[in-house]
Chains A and B, each alone.
Chain A
Amino acid sequence: MSFLLVALGAAIGGPLRYLVDRAIQARHDSVFPWGTFTVNIAGSFILGVIAGLPTSSAVMALTGTGLCGALTTYSSFGYEVVRLVQVNARALALLNVAGSISAGLGAGYTGLVLAQAILG
């Protein structure tokens, strides 16, 4: 059962990452991978909220493991950093690592705190 919910969430999260990434690039032409950055930070915030709420394992499978897991990506993030180094954009590569991790941590933690604050 949990596999079905994970699959359903991922079937939404994966295409959503592609569409959001594409929409951001279309509006914001840059070597820096803002599309991947955005989905990773947004997904981290949503997962933080879900992890901070007393959710059932079914809700966690659908929205956390499935949706947020597929919306965010480590493989694209890692590949982008190496590519930025290869095209001699070392400062952007470093900025992507430091920026993605610190913003992701901040977003995830904010989500956790927000959920706990709502619960009181």
Chain B
Amino acid sequence: MPDAMNPANEAVDPDVDLHIPTQRREFEDRPIPVLVVIAIGATMGAAARHGLDLAFPHAAREFAWATFGINVAGCALIGVLMVLVEHVWTTRRLLRPFLGVGVLGGFTTFSTYVVDVSLAVDASAPRVALLYLVAMPVAALGAVWVTATLTRRMIDRRTTQRQLADDAGDMPSYAERG
């Protein structure tokens, strides 16, 4: 495996990982643009979440489908985004702060998830609370795993095809020399 495709060299924390030199420098180099794009992205993500909350309201004793769908979709998208940011869009320095930290961070929510579990217990719906408690991480983690794996596989295949094409392109020159 080429070093650049080694998962051990990629960020663990998608918001910002100080183990990655470019991410460590991004805030020191351009603090205001970084914070501004995060704020704009978070505003967009949170407004979309609010719109879905209003479109699909739920009582305290009911399964919170809106938040469930939002968190699973956000996890699926960050799996695609982070692989692309680290392997394809490597020179776009504000893309991860805008889309990852801002839009997806603002769209998904951890606080509403845990407080809704407590509120469902208080509303005498312990089974709904337990189902929601377990289903959310299972679906969300599964979503990240699937999208990150598929995206990485697509990039690997494209890289291999390009290498094969390059090798094939080299052939005539050898033939000419021979």
- A interface residues (Cβ-Cβ under 8 A, vs B): 2-3, 6-7, 9-15, 17-19, 21-22, 25-26, 29, 31, 33, 35-36, 40, 43-44, 46-48, 51, 61, 64-66, 68-84, 86-87, 97, 100-101, 104-105, 107-109, 111-112
Contacts and interface: CB of A to CB of B under 8 A. Distances in A.
Contacts of A21: 13, 15-16
B106 A2 contact: no
A70 B45 contact: yes
Given A18-B101, A82-B148, A36 B42 contact: no
Nearest to B75: A78
Contacts of B112: 47, 64-65, 68-69, 72
Interface in B95-126: 97, 100-102, 104-115, 117-119, 122
A101 B133 contact: yes
Given A10-B42, A10-B43, A105-B118, A79 B14 contact: yes
Per DSSP, chain B at the interface is: helix
Interface of B: 7-8, 10-18, 27, 34-35, 38-43, 45-47, 49-51, 53-54, 71, 74-75, 77-79, 82, 97, 100-102, 104-115, 117-119, 122, 133, 136-137, 140-141, 143-145, 148
A17 B47 contact: no
A44 B110 contact: yes
Contact of B108 (A7, A73, A87): A73
